[in-house]
Amino acid sequence: MTSSDREDISGIEKMLRNLYTPLQSGVSEFRVNLGNFTTAFNNKKTLNDKIKTLEQENRRISLDNQILRENQAELKRLRDIVAFKEASLATYDLLPARVISRSPNNWYQTLVIDKGSNAGVKKGMTVITPKGLVGSVGSVGHNSAHINLITDREVAVGAILQENRDTSGIIEGRGDRTFLGMINVPYYSTVKKNNRVITSGLSLTFPKGIFIGTVSEITRERGGLLMSASVKPAVDFDKLEEVLIITDYHPVDDSEENMGE
Amino acid sequence: MRYFLLLILPVLAIFFQSTLFNSYSIKGTIPDIVLIFVVFYSLLNNSSKGAAYGFLCGLLEDLYMGRFIGINALSKALTAYAIGRLQGNVFKENILVGVIAVLMGTVINSLLLVGISLAVSDIYNIDAGLFISIFLQCVYNSIIAVPAYIWYYNSSHNGWLRNTGENLNESRQF
């Protein structure tokens, strides 16, 4: 057996993936086209209703956007004053990719995307959608890459609550696409239902501040020193069609440089 | 043709499991068609041949996944060996035998996979959801096993999967 943290996959595995990728791309393309085809037959009323709701949402979001822009400008001024520098989602390079297939068994929660080492994807890169965290790149082929989802049983993410930053915990996958477990929450923390959970940046794999999900249930562990919570992921993993890969986040390299100095 | 088909079946099974069956999952659980083929092969041949075939099919799946190489190979080989022990003691022309073999195979394979995963992984979370998923997979696999066994059994006696090397005396239809 091989170890889980080997650097790269072998030539045979890459060959096998090169064989599968075009087939899976074809199927995924076909399904998208089929979707477009059926939309054309949808009746006019549903489409009109949809446009109306989207317009309303658009208006609301533009308003939110204005407020946030103002806040961001203020934040930038204040940050300049205290000479505070922090990387955020706005500064990362994002590479879009299409999901072409999913895990062939129930043991792993993975996705296959249509970008690989030829497009500059590397192992360990963080994968997100505009809604929130998806997972990280597990292994890379020439034109495809396997992504380990955060719902996978072997993935853990350091997390904090966005509302009160002192509450920390570890998000772990339960093999279920609809909920995540949050463990090691200290008993004194004021975690409430519907609190927003974001990445803490402590696990070195994921950058700080990416939205993971909302707390749906809190339970006290036996012994009483720790609490655990159920978290509803922000991303709908069943309907994932496109993802974004953060290509320029290298926290480990940074710390190595610092150690060298 | 027999060997080509034996090779192409798991390849196609992985392809369909990763695309088509993900759209038709029961609560996120998909069937393990590779395992179904391995169980049938083992049931209709013998345990050592079955184990070898199970090992190769599992290895193919492992190479595709690119994580632990050997985890599926090991579990499928052992499952096939266990199912192969039934061979000679059961009436293979009965569909029910095929379905029960798949059901047993799914349970054995799942427990082996959990055991191996626990032994080799740093983090592996076990909860009720895991066992619900195993149960759902048993049901899903058993349903698929009905048409699959009818085809596989007939094919291995009168069709493409027929063993041309040795003469099989029995060539019964359902």
Q: What pLDDT sits at residue A57?
A: 93
Q: What is the dihedral of CA A232, A236, A238, A239, to 10 degrees?
A: 170
- Euclidean distance between CA atoms A30 and A32, whole angstroms: 5
Is CATH 2.40.10.340 the classification given to domain A89-261? yes
Asked if A239 reaches chain B (Cβ–Cβ under 8 Å), the answer is: no
The average pLDDT across A104-110 equals 83
Asked if A124 reaches chain B (Cβ–Cβ under 8 Å), the answer is: no
Q: Which of residues 46-85 of B touch A (CB under 8 A)?
A: 60-61, 63-72, 74
Q: Which of B32, B120, B124 is the closest to A105 by Cβ? A: B32
> What value of ipTM does the predicted structure carry?
0.75
Of A161-165, B135-139, B157-161, minimum mean pLDDT range: B157-161
HSE-CB of B169 using CA atoms within 13 angstroms = 0
- pLDDT exceeds cutoff 60 at A1: no
- Closest of A227, A84, A155, A106 to residue B65, by C-alpha: A106
Q: Look at residue B147 and give its three-state secondary structure.
A: helix
Percent share of chain B, pLDDT over 70: 92
Q: Look at residue A171 and give its three-state secondary structure.
A: strand
- pLDDT exceeds cutoff 70 at B168: no
Helix, strand, coil tally for chain B in percent (to 5): 70, 0, 30
| Interface mutation target, options A105, A121, A178, chain B, most CBs of B under 10 Å | A105
Task: State the smallest CA–CA distance between residue A172 and chain B in angstroms.
Answer: 8
Domain edges within chain B: 33-158
HSE-CB of A171 using CA atoms within 13 angstroms = 34
Q: What pLDDT sits at residue A7?
A: 66
pLDDT in tens, A113-171: 988 889 888 888 899 888 889 999 988 888 889 999 998 888 888 898 888 777 788 88
Domain edges within chain A: 42-82, 89-261
pLDDT in tens, A37-93: 777 776 777 888 889 999 999 999 999 999 988 888 888 877 777 766 565 666 778
Of A38-42, A104-108, B33-37, minimum mean pLDDT range: A38-42
Q: Which of B18, B60, B68 is the closest to A102 by Cβ? A: B18
Q: What pLDDT sits at residue B129?
A: 78
Of A51-55, A247-251, B6-10, minimum mean pLDDT range: A247-251
Which residues in chain B are contacts of A21 at CB distance < 8 A? none
